[in-house]
Structure 1
């Protein structure tokens, strides 16, 4: 492009027969929490009794008992050394997850290479710790339903071993820093996030198993103080080195709520809800007005939502209810706003291919919590209305959704012009995706395993997206602006711009969608000579 010139690239794609916190206000004044008899987190004694008495649950009960028996037989040992980042348990050459041949040898199933280095072995120990966390929970549930003391004794064995080991583990992170330098690291795991996720499982299993006769009062004190509360306290100490808006903090809050409920710690419960980084803060800072998580990745929207549901479950057990909070409820309503006509979801930023149906359990939970029939219907798999939604501007998120027609003739185009999305955002301003002919035609790369080099050399590049690349370089992180949106009986259109994607250049894109075609006009304006590529990735 010559200095002072303006480049306009236009394309016409023919698609043949395209056929506020509490009450949205301030932080709540919460009454004292109610700590009922154990168990009081995943299930109450009354709920367990009802489950056992329900003939429809007999097969599920038998499966739970059989799994617990299998875990007893396997009797996996608790590692006596720390774990490492889970994404290191993959072959760097092809991204395949490794398979253990022994605790010290791990083979790639694709290329056959054997890995025996400490980083890989430590990542495998993280997998073992993950499985043990789940085992404690599963043993607790099995004991609660069957009364078999062997299951409670196995949970006790793991918990006491972890309580003995945990204080001796060295704080570390995935970059090799240790001690106080590993500010976002953990002890058993290599990051605070994993510590939080793990302690929720441990707390849930402990709560169910602790009433068993095999637990002494001393056992309970040791597990609560040297394991559960210690993890929660250290998470609270180091949480300030993490962005308070991000999904990690959401899991920290869930951990505070779970441990607080199980150990009867009111301070932890209040930290989870009303703390400076608690649920109420995140509803104001991490949730857009459109009901989407600020990171702009649907995978992380539901990842954060899983933690929020855990927090709300614990709060409900303590007598705290937030079902009247409209901003909270919007988190379950937001994803539908960006779904394609078939219910599938665009893969913006660090996301994976998925559909609303993949998240049915979330909508089922929300239907019960908010007593909302629409969310309850989605929880039953009723997504029939997805192809009949109107076009929309998600102004706070920064996505324009253009829709025409319904059923087999439904078409949908979206343009991402808004929030970068923090650490999980991609340099893809004015990126466009397109659905027509019953499937996604123009696509976003999403993500692959974070430990695979191509995640950064491809997925997180501008060239991997349907937008403009200038001089072969990635865009700078920036937020764009919507300049125009119009919908008539025959078309829907939008115009957006980004002034800071490339120094000295202004990018703008205009989309016009009709029943049968999409007009796409991309303009780049500037006063310096530049090499400009307009990229479009579509399915063959």
Structure 2
């Protein structure tokens, strides 16, 4: 078994008769395989498009995914959406799902010795071998895309191809020599060429650090091992743009992927882990490799854990697939991929915190532990895993501080890092305050929302100067540890403006001071999002109006105001029997605006409430405290 031969297959297959928690894993996986058999396994004859276009552009929301192709697809708000781009995006999702179904059926055939699963898997595999030569999706791709053959993007093709290659290795006993030669010639060889061309193009463009490269390496490595091609394996691991090279370029010395996004960080870890598992089966241990500045796979998994909130959730920093993908993802795409990474990571390293993260991701998805990675790797139960003793942590090269006061239930994430490329948000010196004011993430990229709203400063808990978004910095803001907290500062976010934000803790309260100084007078907006239902003192409801006429101001609907005053403002809410209170004021008179904005990615059917303090000045100090007290719902 060329990709997974290092696993204990006697143990894996014996688990079809397992007891206790492991029996639940196996039964859940068996149920999944049976459900797959009950659905249509017809492969779309046309290639896939770009999944981010499976959206309602009016509401910016992902459409409701179903396995059957339709003339139109339903928006969560009730109306129907269609068109060539939407259909191509549906096909991208459906091909991805069928690739996963193929792997699961092949694994089910091996675990349960069930010829029904094997026959269905072989039918899918043969159909893809017939169709692959007819696919030419790259011709319809957008100009900026790294083109694939079965999908607009070679990246998506790699995501689909690895489960298909897993299926080929799992079905080895069911494929004769002549058919294997045919499958390899019609599917694996042209796949390898697709990935080689894309990989070479990234190198030519000087984009080796791209997350695409990690996935192309994983796909090239897997196909290289299957084809017994030393050239492909060397390219994927040792060559220019290979695993060793990519790890040294794309991951900062603190272990976090350079884009500064929790989603893309884990996305790259998943690609690394899939390549590492394939390599282990061929006598190469990538888990043991450490790049010159200390980067390795274990450090990357630890970096994710260091950012976790007390409920096991993670901050939605920068762009990422944070929304509920619907359909077979069963929850957010991030959470599905976390389950794959940490099933394997927990098995490899035994870190208890990984088991806790894993249990938290399954809980958010509302699904049982019974997917392919659990069948192959789960050797310990995770139910009831307690949170590890996480403390304040700093990723200094990425510019992310996670502040965990000992006497408060708040956790504060402070962002001050450098440019991470096209997925970076204009949100340096921003604050996420768990559990009631966390970063909103991003909705699918195929519409206007990402660039018109989510990437802008106004969509975050930051200072907005003169109604514009801040600059993207090439280096971290200045970070300092202070006696009772930390501070970050920069004079480059806005030309001629120095901004410093200091966070301190006093008993159960978080103290937040933002100081602004400039030789010129500026319009200043201090922004704080309030998730949930809040009572805000001293404001008066007004007829709804937009904050401005162009994005991002256009997407703030002002619904309440308070005239200019020196009086501090207070607001409160109750969550899980804890009463949270915000008090904020400024050194100059300020106006208060309360408005509704586009939603948080994790609950995208609602709106978020935003509080904006507006004033003008050269030297202004904003002071806020975020407190808590026990109470009743």
TM-score, normalising length: structure 2: 0.69
Decide whether the 8 Å contact of 2:305 with 2:353 is kept in 1: no
Kindly state the Cα deviation for residue 505 of structure 1 after the two structures are TM-superposed.
3.5
Q: Work out whether 1:394 is the aligned partner of 2:373.
A: no
| Residue aligned with 1:283, SS | helix
Q: Aligned equivalents of 1:236 and 1:247: distance in 2?
A: 16
Kindly state the Cα deviation for residue 272 of structure 1 after the two structures are TM-superposed.
2.3
> Please, which of 153, 157, 160 is the counterpart of residue 119 of structure 2?
153
| Residue aligned with 1:441, SS | coil
Q: Work out whether 1:333 is the aligned partner of 2:302.
A: yes
Q: Work out whether 1:278 is the aligned partner of 2:247.
A: no
Superposed, 1:9-88 pairs within 5 Å as 37=1, 40=4, 45-52=9-16, 54=18, 64=29, 67-88=32-53
* Gap runs ≥5 in structure 1: 1-36
Q: Work out whether 1:535 is the aligned partner of 2:497.
A: no
> Which position in structure 2 is the counterpart of 1:292?
256
> Please, which of 58, 76, 87 is the counterpart of residue 93 of structure 1?
58
Q: Aligned equivalents of 2:8 and 2:466: distance in 1?
A: 62
Deviation per CA, 1:216-252: give whole Å up to 9, x if none: 4332122223212322321121224443222222111
Decide whether the 8 Å contact of 2:135 with 2:150 is kept in 1: yes
> Which position in structure 2 is the counterpart of 1:233?
193
Kindly state the Cα deviation for residue 207 of structure 1 after the two structures are TM-superposed.
1.1
> Which position in structure 1 is the counterpart of 2:69?
103
Describe the shift of the 1:345–1:155 C-alpha distance in structure 2 as closer, same or farther (beyond 3 A): closer
> Which position in structure 1 is the counterpart of 2:213?
249
Kindly state the Cα deviation for residue 201 of structure 1 after the two structures are TM-superposed.
0.9
Decide whether the 8 Å contact of 1:260 with 1:266 is kept in 2: yes
> Which position in structure 2 is the counterpart of 1:165?
131
> Which position in structure 1 is the counterpart of 2:157?
195
> Please, which of 91, 110, 114 is the counterpart of residue 144 of structure 1?
110
Describe the shift of the 1:427–1:171 C-alpha distance in structure 2 as closer, same or farther (beyond 3 A): same
Decide whether the 8 Å contact of 1:83 with 1:123 is kept in 2: yes
Deviation per CA, 1:73-131: give whole Å up to 9, x if none: 54422222122111222222221414569635123254443334222222222222122
Kindly state the Cα deviation for residue 192 of structure 1 after the two structures are TM-superposed.
0.8
Q: Work out whether 1:459 is the aligned partner of 2:419.
A: no
The root-mean-square deviation of aligned C-alpha atoms, in Å, is: 3.2
Superposed, 1:332-481 pairs within 5 Å as 332-351=301-320, 352=322, 359=338, 362-370=341-349, 372=351, 375=354, 380=382, 382-386=385-389, 389=391, 391-406=392-407, 409-435=408-434, 440-479=435-474, 481=476
Describe the shift of the 1:55–1:484 C-alpha distance in structure 2 as closer, same or farther (beyond 3 A): closer
Q: Aligned equivalents of 1:101 and 1:114: distance in 2?
A: 17
Q: Aligned equivalents of 1:159 and 1:357: distance in 2?
A: 24
| Residue aligned with 2:149, SS | coil
Kindly state the Cα deviation for residue 62 of structure 1 after the two structures are TM-superposed.
5.8
Q: Work out whether 1:126 is the aligned partner of 2:92.
A: yes
> Which position in structure 1 is the counterpart of 2:568?
none
| Residue aligned with 2:490, SS | strand
> Which position in structure 1 is the counterpart of 2:169?
207
| Residue aligned with 2:208, SS | coil
Which structure: greater strand fraction? Answer: 2
Describe the shift of the 1:105–1:477 C-alpha distance in structure 2 as closer, same or farther (beyond 3 A): same
Q: Work out whether 1:310 is the aligned partner of 2:274.
A: yes
Q: Aligned equivalents of 1:101 and 1:204: distance in 2?
A: 22
Describe the shift of the 1:256–1:453 C-alpha distance in structure 2 as closer, same or farther (beyond 3 A): same
Q: Work out whether 1:514 is the aligned partner of 2:478.
A: no
Decide whether the 8 Å contact of 1:84 with 1:173 is kept in 2: no
Q: Aligned equivalents of 2:436 and 2:167: distance in 1?
A: 46
Q: Work out whether 1:221 is the aligned partner of 2:181.
A: yes
Kindly state the Cα deviation for residue 346 of structure 1 after the two structures are TM-superposed.
2.2
Superposed, 1:475-494 pairs within 5 Å as 475-479=470-474, 481-483=476-478, 485-488=480-483, 491-494=484-487
Describe the shift of the 1:281–1:515 C-alpha distance in structure 2 as closer, same or farther (beyond 3 A): farther
Decide whether the 8 Å contact of 2:310 with 2:387 is kept in 1: no
Describe the shift of the 1:168–1:511 C-alpha distance in structure 2 as closer, same or farther (beyond 3 A): same
TM-score, normalising length: structure 1: 0.80
| Residue aligned with 2:256, SS | coil
Q: Aligned equivalents of 1:344 and 1:67: distance in 2?
A: 26
Aligned residues: 487
Q: Aligned equivalents of 2:194 and 2:167: distance in 1?
A: 21
Kindly state the Cα deviation for residue 492 of structure 1 after the two structures are TM-superposed.
1.6
List structure 1 runs of 4+ shifted beyond 6 angstroms.
Answer: 353-358
Q: Aligned equivalents of 2:181 and 2:348: distance in 1?
A: 33
Higher relative contact order (CA 8 A, sep 6+): 1
| Residue aligned with 2:56, SS | coil
> Which position in structure 1 is the counterpart of 2:497?
505
Decide whether the 8 Å contact of 2:416 with 2:428 is kept in 1: yes
Deviation per CA, 1:264-307: give whole Å up to 9, x if none: 33332232222222221222122222222221111222222211
Q: Aligned equivalents of 2:260 and 2:351: distance in 1?
A: 25
Decide whether the 8 Å contact of 2:13 with 2:112 is kept in 1: no
> Please, which of 240, 259, 266 is the counterpart of residue 223 of structure 2?
259
Deviation per CA, 1:35-67: give whole Å up to 9, x if none: xx5674596653454334545666655665555
Decide whether the 8 Å contact of 1:106 with 1:114 is kept in 2: yes
Describe the shift of the 1:536–1:51 C-alpha distance in structure 2 as closer, same or farther (beyond 3 A): same
Segment drifting more, 54-63 vs 85-94: 54-63
Kindly state the Cα deviation for residue 427 of structure 1 after the two structures are TM-superposed.
0.9
> Please, which of 283, 291, 301 is the counterpart of residue 319 of structure 1?
283
Q: Aligned equivalents of 1:144 and 1:294: distance in 2?
A: 39
Decide whether the 8 Å contact of 1:367 with 1:373 is kept in 2: yes
Describe the shift of the 1:89–1:485 C-alpha distance in structure 2 as closer, same or farther (beyond 3 A): same
